[in-house]
Structure 1
Amino acid sequence: MPTIAILGSGAVGALLGAALARGGADPVLVTREETAALLARAGLRVDSPLLGDHHVRVRVAARLDDEADALVVAVKAPHLPAALQRIRAEPGVVVPLLNGTEHMAALRARFGDRVVAGVVRVQAHRDGPAHVVHRSPMLSVAVAAPGAPALTDALRAAGVEVATGAPEADVLWGKLTRLAGLALATTAADAPLGDVRADAEAVAREVAAIAAAEGAAVGAEAVVAELRALPDAASSSLRADVGAGRADHELDAIGGAVLRAGARHGLPMPRTAALVAQVETRAVAR
């Protein structure tokens, strides 16, 4: 039975931890002391159209002192430096599921070549520290080459869709190209996708050009087609975070990373830059 440590007990970390526990793996959620104590008492309640509504007990710890076959990093980018202080052991492989691209350098500075890029696609939120609401049947994880078999085998056994083998640039920039347009457009206007599709598509095209310069095989029109297939009511966690006045939003990890990469390659990003500025104004006003 593989031991899978998950750093972070937010919606993604808790949902994956619950799925792995039901699938027969040995997950441990590494989280803040007060959250670990609460989860140890109450367990996790999960509402999910994919995994079913259930209550499950998952091992929890305030720090990881023991060996693990894999470490999944499922915290938001602003929390990464502090969260890593909870990891005392040296896991076999480290798979971050953060948004953006720049976290890879920080993780490799700590764990070296054991870091393998990953991304997750899911719509979920926490309704309190011990309750995860998974809003749609979509839950998929992509892990770049060279892979992390202990993790991906356990996820598949738990009913999670897993893709493996793609180059790192394709995995990271594929998600960021899809995410940036949706997140920046909906957050800048504080509106659902149906009201801001032109902005979202313009950003997707700008980011796809940067992705190509970064060596990723990301087709702009394929991403635009994905955006067009989303319902008018689609929104983003960035919009929710900024709207709620949360300081730990991921604007820099998403929009900032795109602007910095574009600047490195000398690529114009007028729509992206304008939307990032609008989101910054909204965030400061909060």
Structure 2
Amino acid sequence: MGGAEARAPLAHLRGRDLIAILGSGAVGALLGAQLTRAGVATALVTTEASAEAIARDGIAVGSPAFGDHVERVRAVPALEAPPGALVVAVKAPHLARALDRIAGEPDVVVPLLNGVDHMALLRERFANVVAATVRVQAHREGRTSVVHRAPFLTVTVAAPGAPALTDALALAHVEVVEGGAEADVLWAKLSRLAGIALATTAADAPLGDVRDDAEAVAREVAAVARAEGARVDADAVLAELRALPDAATSSLRADVMRTEPSPGDHELDAIGGAVLRAAARHGLPAPRTRALVDRIGSL
């Protein structure tokens, strides 16, 4: 079992050499396991139930890139003192409440949420917030198992960067990309995500059945992104979308279509809502985005 050596107790999970990850979903758990495996001082900050389960069982990773392994990742329900770096890996609907688990002021806060509006909320609380995005295909099974479905895990970080975190991620064999301006990083991700997320969710169908809708949304979002000051190439976005297999789908579809969904427990507002609010600020039309957001909202 990887990471089986004795771990420091909660009282020692403090200090500027610690990387804390807020959230133990697929992204948080996978990053926590890989950092722990690399010997980086890491703590997952999560719910009481998840912290107990992870403390008992560790986190099992199944990955084409990292192999199958189990790591004894430190997991706690709250941090009493600030870490050096705080990676925020909860979904947007849970962000405000999750922040109650963090005390003090980390040296740097790096959110990996979808959308753009979370940056303002985080900057109300923290002084140094650096925009970033993550590219990964993974899902969590239960509280302690992560299935990493594709051989990539890429974190793109905007200027001015977060060297202590990105050095640790590189040590853990996570690909790190220096992505330039904040608007470029955030809107590049959203322009690639919104079309497939909204189209597959509105129809409850894979991408192959809804490519026209997905491409129409991608064009609208690229126009909004450029109005927001981001360097987004619509042709490049469309080329990436067209290269995806017909079976491709989205986590938004999975969240909305769950057998027992929780109201608001998905990223429709963070994805589609953010696009529509930005379009309205610039007086830009986004009819297909609006139609799909309204359709999903009525499900």
Aligned match of 2:280 = 263
- Rounded to whole Å, the distance in 2 between the matches of 1:233 and 1:281 is 25
Q: Which of 109, 115, 119 is the aligned partner of 1:94?
A: 109
Aligned match of 1:6 = 21
Give the AA of the match of 2:249: S
TM-score (normalizing by structure 2): 0.92
Deviation at 1:264, TM superposition (A): 0.5
Q: Secondary structure of the equivalent of 1:180?
A: helix
1:55 matched to 2:102? The reply is no
- Rounded to whole Å, the distance in 2 between the matches of 1:223 and 1:165 is 16
Q: Percent identity?
A: 69
Alignment gaps of 5+ in structure 1:
none
Alignment gaps of 5+ in structure 2:
1-15
Give the AA of the match of 2:165: L
Aligned 1:1-286 pairs, distance under 5 A = 2-112=17-127, 114-244=128-258, 245-247=261-263, 248-282=265-299
- Rounded to whole Å, the distance in 2 between the matches of 1:162 and 1:6 is 17
Deviation at 1:34, TM superposition (A): 1.4
Number of residues of Structure 1 aligned to a counterpart in Structure 2 = 281
Which segment is superposed worse, 64-73 or 228-237?
64-73
- Divergent runs of 4+, >4 A: none
Contact 1:146 1:165 survives alignment (8 Å): no
Give the AA of the match of 2:63: S
Deviation at 1:94, TM superposition (A): 0.1
**Cα deviations across residues 33-65 of structure 1 (Å, max 9, x unaligned)?**
111111111111010111111000111111111
Deviation at 1:246, TM superposition (A): 3.8
Deviation at 1:165, TM superposition (A): 4.5
Deviation at 1:67, TM superposition (A): 3.1
Q: Secondary structure of the equivalent of 2:137?
A: strand
Give the AA of the match of 1:257: A
Q: CA RMSD in A?
A: 1.0
Deviation at 1:89, TM superposition (A): 2.8
